Copies of this chain bind each other. A is one copy, B any other.
Amino acid sequence: MKNSIRKERKKEIISGLYELSQSEGLENVSIAKIGKHLGMPPSLVMHYFPNKRLLILGLIDHILHQYQLIYKPIISKMENQPRINPELLVDRLFSRDWNLLFDDGVFFSCYAFIFRDASIKREYKNLHVKLRMTLKTLLDKDEVLMNGDTGLLAERIFVVIEGAYYYLSMMDDPKTYDEKLKIFKDQVYELIYSEINRLEQPARSG
């Protein structure tokens, strides 16, 4: 019981930091503002996070955890099927449902820390490697794709997803956004289909 109030408070504080980062920008959030936002004195914030760096680390933990949740529904929907459905897979990979899970601005503000904090860089890297492994595990269940290099395919798919995430964040006009989105989805389709074709046909000289 003693410990649970501590955990809850820490969560509450990180949520407050997150909300303020979303509306005002991470660089404009202070401990006093967090306290005011949550109705507690700044000294209580510092009781749980003795310095600002720990606060930032807590926020990054939270965001990376949310990020990871994005792909949970894909996995549960696809596992236990002998063949993957490329349309469905790509649809889910590019879905922006996760916009409900976390804010892109906060995500990239935190991302910028990887260049000056080695442990943050490691955390971000672990997440991205883990996501690739998740996709690889999914591809490994397909009875055709499993005969190829699913790790390589997962890398190639994710680099498009991440490039698209970065690039599409700049698009304001929904029409342009959809046009570009279609391009990148098709690009991933082709990665999958050409791998399937390659594996289904007998080896050729090249």
Contacts and interface: CB of A to CB of B under 8 A. Distances in A.
A112 B108 contact: yes
Interface in A96-123: 103-105, 108-109, 111-116, 118, 121-122
Given A109-B112, A112-B109, A164 B159 contact: yes
Contact of A156 (B105, B109, B187): B187
Contacts of A93: none
Contacts of A116: 25, 105
A156 B184 CA distance: 7
- This chain: how many copies in the complex? 2
A152 interface: yes
B156 A124 contact: no
Contacts of A155: 180, 183-184
A48 interface: no
A33 interface: no
A175 to B, nearest CB: 14
A55 to B, nearest CB: 13
